[in-house]
Amino acid sequence: MDALILSYSDTRRLVDMVGMDVIMRTCIDRLRNGFSEVSRERWRGCPPRNGFVHDHSVGGGVIENMPYLEVNRGMTLKTISYKPNNNAEHRLPTVVGAICRYSDSSGELLAICDATVPTAIRTGAATAVASSMLARPDSRTAAIVGAGLQAVTQIHALCVSFALERIQVYDIDRKCAESLKDRCNFTSAQFEVFDDPHGVVEGADILVTATSVRPGAGPVVRDERLSSHLHINSIGSDEPGKTELPLSVLNRAYICVDHLDQALNEGECQVLERDAINVTLPDLVGIARSTGQPLPQVHDLTVFDSTGFAFEDHVALDVFLDFAAEAGLGGKFSILDGPVGLHSPYSTSATN
């Protein structure tokens, strides 16, 4: 059976063909539906990711393997590397990897998709799902700390979900902060670049932190000038020691995590006890669905601790594979090509 390859260029082309809003909205809808359908049984398919933390002598970062299995729908396995030096050393994005789909029935490799674009989009989509539950529906001002690649899909996802009018930007690299407006030319919101990460939060209804801060060097914002109703999406915390928010913020916020064990292992919540976490995003979506109405906006300060987990990649890969099939996009290759020797690995054998 042939396997499908969607390269990085294929995924970019697919976004152009289908439309970035359609792809993002489809991801948001499927994530939301997936979360709300979740039963305890189904979530057993999503263990915390596992991987390797690079020593800072080799530039730090992590390389992780994120498996998710859904019976009769396959195993999705994303291998994803986060290397802060990738831009400078390799002219590659900070986050690089591949998403593989295997048949859970036979073990065959069915598809490989470059992870760059789907990862950025599904991380944005998770922020949209969380923010639509936790931020004020009339949010108009977003602040973003860390203006790299992930910032683009964070803003895109928020623009799809809120009528944003103003986006306040900070990055340690001012040029990068200044270029974000051009990279987000899909929105007519006003961009303002700030010189410090503290002023940037003032007046924001929603804050996104998406930095490459080194482990131990956080937080990246202070517990100052935050709106009382602020909703924070913390995207960057994804390795031990790497946190973006002050403990005082976490201590008084209503905290929603994507994946409980991951959040405690490597998210913002690594500095908290398990019982300090209020809810998981799947549970939050499930509760809202079952009560038939959005949650009352009882919470002031809220935090979504987004570590990014394998179910999201499973959903994103489905979205890309479905649109690619419609568009006839992607290459084919054969890995388990025949005739396959069922009883010998050697072709010198008399019987196969």
Binding mask 179-218 for a second copy (x = CB under 8 A): x--xxxxx--------------------------------
Does 327 engage in binding with a second copy (CB under 8 A)?
Answer: no
Q: Tell me, by CB under 8 A, how many residues bind a second copy.
A: 88
Joined tokens for residue 185 = 């030319």
Among 39, 188, 228, 348, binds a second copy (CB under 8 A): 348
Does 8 engage in binding with a second copy (CB under 8 A)?
Answer: yes
Among 127, 131, 153, 234, binds a second copy (CB under 8 A): 153
> Footprint of a second copy on residues 121-150 (CB under 8 A)?
121, 148-149
Does 265 engage in binding with a second copy (CB under 8 A)?
Answer: no
Binding mask 223-262 for a second copy (x = CB under 8 A): ----------------------------------------
Does 172 engage in binding with a second copy (CB under 8 A)?
Answer: no
> Footprint of a second copy on residues 46-85 (CB under 8 A)?
47, 50-52, 54-55, 58, 63, 65, 67, 69, 71-72, 75, 77, 79-83
> Footprint of a second copy on residues 95-114 (CB under 8 A)?
95-98, 100, 102-109, 112, 114
Does 283 engage in binding with a second copy (CB under 8 A)?
Answer: no
